[in-house]
Amino acid sequence: MAQVKKEKPAGKNWLWVLPLVFLLIFGSSALMRLFSPATIDTSEGLALLRGDTVQRVVVNEGTQQVNLNLEKSYTSPARIEGEKATERGKNVSFTYTRAQAEGIINLINAKTPKGGYDSIYPTPTLLGSILNAVLPVIILVGGFYFLYSFLLKKSGGIGGLGGFAKSKAKEFNLENPSVTFADVAGEDEAIEELEEIRDFLTNPTKYTELGARIPRGVLLYGPPGTGKTLLARAVAGEARVPFFSISGSEFVEMYAGVGASRVRDLFVRAKAAEPAIIFVDEIDAVGGSRGYAVGGGGEEREQTLNQMLVEMDGFDERTSVIVIAATNRPDILDPALLRPGRFDRQVAVEAPDLKGREAILKVHARGKPMLPEVDLYAIAKRTPGFTGADLANVLNEAALLTAREDADVIDIRAIDEAIDRVIAGPQKRTRVMNDHDKLVTAYHEGGHALCAAALNYTDPVTKVTILPRGRALGYTMVMPTEDRYSKTRNQILDNLVYAMGGRVAEELIFRDPSTGASNDIQNATAEARKMVTDYGFSDKVGNVKLGGGQSDGLTGMRHGQQEAPMSGQTAGTVDEEVRKLLDNATREAWEILSRNREVLDRLALRLLEKETLLEEELAEIFHNVTKQPERPVWNYLAEAAVADARFGDPIVGQEEPPNQQVEQDVH
């Protein structure tokens, strides 16, 4: 294993001396006041000199002060009525003016104290004069210096005047690593790519002897919660090298030049501790494309990025420092950051597949008592698209729900509720709907479920409920039986029909639809627009890419793929095609629900009775559903263009019962 060089200790900070100096000065002053003679009025001092209790007198002509040593303790008399006398002790002092000096000396000579008296006149030395003149200035300047450094430290520096510009990276020296590749599941391809990095850090000569150059940087990109930070820490844990972790936003401050200085300091620290790993989380905060800066803040970010580019490009060929960065937005990163020689390797960390989800569940199930009938494979099948963080949250929520009920073992019921919480939010138990709203929600969700059951390319319906969760009054859950990485045109068209099923059911039954379908319409419109502008599923528009990349909310500029120019005529055609797709989906939903009206009524009644229906009960209700015929493979959109825009009665001769009769039958 490679030897880990210890980081050189930083220079000693001498600012701690200033508080000590202040403490000594004020402490000595307090001690001098504690042991010095008590001060009395001049009249009291003259009265004591005229009495017989004075043993010794010391006259300081420089400070015009007389110190008296008494035979017994002296008590100052009360000055005003009601005031208590003050105990002064055996050593007291008083001051006098120059006009009183001769009279005081004559009084002392006349009384001749038993111990005699001394008259002193201290002559200031050159050193004393210099200290008296310079020391206050030194103390004042030092106080301001200490205060300034303290404020810089509180603002983000590490200490001292230059600490503000130092890197805020946290260093983890993993002699006993807490995270290894054994703790990472569901990302086998990413682990395989990072194994090479770990091998280089532990055995660099294996590669240098072959003339190979290890990647300078590794970019981990993927959706949030997929384990990018965990993978970076696992590499450091496996290699057992110093691990410097920092967020991209910690480089940039309001002061110009601080970000670039922190980048330099971070790389200096890492090179001093090599072999080492620098991990920059959310690098898009500082590594976004240059040229979109607005104001000084954006310019400071670009300076920070430029310094990072220089540092990564300036690595020695044999330097064992590797930069690992993570981002959710690789499309907005500057191209110079992604070129070979900087982030040579880009590793996708995607949401896990079925096998990966089961492995992740096994990792997070450690230490959690579960009933034997809890099948992690079945849970993995029910959670397609979940990331590692989502799966960890599911099991954690299940444990919390079990503890809330004072149970000792996690059962499948707690896990089911946890999955629903992650998908749709907690159940609104306090939200009470009236009978009409319940009826509308039952038919709305029944319309979704019935359309999904009657179509040929939708996923199976696994759950329907009218219990409010999050912002929804109810929801229908469809789950794919296998992982999918692309969609066909028929699958997307079926999804549009499924989305419009709730709105059509409300209009078919009540003739007065509600606003509950607003989210369905929004999602369906977005999907239909993608079909026209991104997927090439429109005969009129053709196979032309018209959709753009994600836009920067600050400048309005689009990063990544540029927005294709679109004329006004083309935009009108796009809107027309989107409208046509949604109209066709609505027409198909109307046909399905009209043809299977009895099934819809039965499903709504069962929902009102039980509130939640699972897959087995739904299969029983849908066993005699009339399936929608297959769409023709020829020019479907052109054929649909001639369809009736207003739906009418798709099935001739079928008559819907009046709305009042439906509600009466249901109640």
Question: Active-site positions?
Answer: 445
Q: Is 227 left (phi over 0), alpha (psi -120 to 50) or beta?
A: left
Beta strand residue intervals within 328-415, DSSP E: 345-348
- In sign, the C-alpha dihedral spanning 530, 536, 541, 543 is positive
520 contact partners, CB below 8 Å, separation of at least 6: 448, 499, 500, 502, 503
Instruction: Give dist(CA 33, CA 262) in Å, integer.
Output: 49
Q: Are 29 and 88 in contact (CB under 8 A)?
A: no
Residue 34 to residue 25: CA distance in whole angstroms: 14
Q: How far apart are CA 67 and CA 59, in angstroms?
A: 7
Report the alpha-carbon distance of residue 565 to residue 112 in Å, rounded. 112
CA 143 from chain center: how many Å? 38
Alpha helices in 343-387 (DSSP H): 354-364, 376-381
Tokens found for residue 46: 């003259």
369, burial (CB in 10 Å: exposed 0-12, middle 13-18, buried 19+)? exposed
**Which residues have a Cβ under 8 Å from the Cβ of 664 and sit 6 or more positions away?**
none
Please name every residue paired with 243 in a beta bridge, in sequence order, or none if there are none.
172, 277
- Nearest CA to 266 among 240, 291, 239, 286? 286
For the chain, the 3-state helix, strand and coil shares in percent, each to the nearest 5, are 50, 15, 35
Token pair of 230 as six digits: 């965990």
Joined together, the tokens standing for residue 317 give 């060929």
**Count of other CB atoms within 10 angstroms of residue 5:** 14
d(CA 41, CA 501): 101
Nearest to 73 by CA among 89, 94, 84: 89
In sequence order, what are the beta bridge partners of 117? 57
Where are the extended beta strands (E) located within 96-229? 117-120, 170-173, 217-221
Length of the chain: 667
SS3 state at 188: helix
